[in-house]
Amino acid sequence: MTSCCGSGDMRVRRRGQRRPARIEMLPLIDIVFLLLVFFIYAMLSMAVHRGLDLDLPRSSTVRPSEDSPLSVSIRAVTAGRDLYLNRQPVSGKELAARLQQAAETADRPPAVLLFADRHVEYQRLFEVLALVRGAGIERISMQARPE
């Protein structure tokens, strides 16, 4: 005897039978992207500040700068060392030599993050900029605090 629907296999689902469990992928993908966005935002907000604790000038156009292995800080002091490379006090000659060595050993031109106290004299800032450029480094990012 043939069935009326043309198919010989008609299954009737009973109340006790369950379909096999399915794992829905779309909600999982949403969660993965949400976690990815969260961790990227968390990493950007925890940007490494390799400078000293300085009273930086404020600017309304401040953008996060790229990560750089070199950080030069200038403190406004009347006596003593006011120049630091990666938080280590250096003289002007030491700074120039170490920056030149870093520029020569790097596979691509290095960048320098420049942190200057807001009370640093304009002349001193230009002296340090001349030292950095004299070492062959052209990518200099002056740091400021957002308003």
- The verdict on domain 58-146 having CATH code 3.30.420.270 is yes
Assess contact for 125 and 116: CB atoms under 8 A: yes
Q: How far apart are CA 108 and CA 47, in angstroms?
A: 22
Tens-place pLDDT, residues 102-138: 888 888 878 888 888 878 888 888 888 898 888 888 8
Tens-place pLDDT, residues 2-55: 555 555 556 666 676 777 888 888 888 999 999 999 988 887 776 655 555 555
Q: How far apart are CA 72 and CA 129, in angstroms?
A: 10
pTM value is 0.52
